[in-house]
Amino acid sequence: MKHRIVTILRIIRTGAINFTRNLSLAAAAMAVMGVTLTIILFSVVAGSAFNHSITQLTNKLNVSVYLSDSVTQPQLDSFLKQLRSQPNVKKATYYSKAQDLAQAKAQNAGNQTLLQGLSETGNVIPAKIQIQPVDPNKIQDIKNFLDKPANLALEDSQTPTSYSGDEKAAIDKIAHATNVIREAGVVAVIVFAMISMLIIFNTIRMAIFNRRDEISIMRLLGASTWFIRGPFVVESVIYGIISALASIALIDVLFAGTANGLQASSLGLLDINYANLFFKSHLWLLLLLQLMIGILIGAVSSVIATRRYLKFKSK
């Protein structure tokens, strides 16, 4: 056990020393890996910002059903109760005629003629129930419920129920667009991950080539495969760690910088403030993710690169 620990420490030390000796070669590997990790990180943060924007838009989708003035309190109570027991109803809020009037006045604060009209005619605005669906794609369920004859009788015949139909179609389009962006991001990530693996692969191969005499001597002296391979793997894991830290720093500058520098809080759908907030609040998790990806890319490519050189002759 003690021997094993001594050996592991020695492998790590050798890897670190080799890393400093190999710095010029390592720079290329780290640059590409840094770009890869930055793209990955950007996709994650931007993806969450897109999701956030879409969720916010979707939350604004609701169904408003207007009630007839003749509805009594018991009728209202039982209607609300039934409505809330529907599986697709997240929230159903009742607004009395007075509340609706106040709302209408507030919304049209600048429009004096309309305001005057509203106060002169007495309250013509019906009471309403605003329904927030669980799944905006299944608004039909709610519609079916509302269109039952018993329920229809309670509703104001003058004002049709509003389903925010057009808004939904627009939001769907946006969601589709962000999905396309996200898919493009995944493709870019895969491509760059492969490029960085190839470059690390070559860097390690070059390092092996530089030290091939040393390796053959180690072999003859009975060094185990991992004693030889370990330092190379450690070296490329260091590439991964440095690139991960660099990508975090880069994204931090990018989001924090634009959030401060730009007066606008968002670039179209990309809510910079939210992205910045998300990045800050998930910093440790994102750092961990980046480190894991960086270490994985480094370790896998160096293990593959060293494999061929460490085989024993079996024939």
Partner 1 sequence: MILLDRVTKIYNRDMAPALDRISLRVEPKEFVIVVGQSGAGKTTLLRLLTREERQTSGKIIVGGVDYDKLQDKNIPLLRRKIGVVFQDFKLLPNRNVFENVAFALEIVGMSRHEIERTVPKVLEIVNLKGKEKNMPLELSGGERQRVAIARAVVRQPKILIADEPTGNLDPKHAWDVIRVLEKINRFGTTVLLTTHNKDIVDKLKRRVVTIQNGKIVRDKANAAYKI
Contact residues: partner 1, CB under 8 A: 2-4, 6-7, 10, 213-214, 216-225, 227, 312-315
For residues 185 and 187, give the distance between their C-alpha atoms in angstroms, rounded to a whole number: 5
Provide the token pair at 104: 């209408």
Nearer to partner 1, 21 or 182 (CB): 21
Q: How far is the CB of 188 from partner 1 (least distance, A)?
A: 40
Return d(Cα 194, Cα 189) in angstroms, integer.
8
- The least distance separating partner 1 from the CB of residue 183, rounded to whole angstroms, comes to 44
What contacts 298, CB < 8 A, 6 or more positions away?
33, 200, 233, 236, 237, 238, 239, 240
CA-CA distances (angstroms) from residue 251 to 47, 73, 171, 183, 263?
14, 56, 28, 20, 19
Of 113 and 314, nearer to partner 1 (C-beta) is 314
CB closer to partner 1 out of 126 and 230: 230
How many C-beta neighbours within 10 Å does residue 219 have? 16
Tell the smallest beta-carbon distance from residue 12 to partner 1 (Å): 13
Task: State the minimum distance, in angstroms, from the CB of residue 224 to partner 1.
Answer: 5
Q: Which is nearer to partner 1, 18 or 53 (CB)?
A: 18
Contacts of 309 (CB under 8 A, 6+ apart): 208, 212, 215
Residue 109 is given by DSSP the state T
Dist. CA 64–CA 142, nearest whole Å: 11
Residue 308 or residue 315: which is nearer to partner 1 going by CB? 315
Minimum distance from residue 275 beta carbon to partner 1 (Å):
49
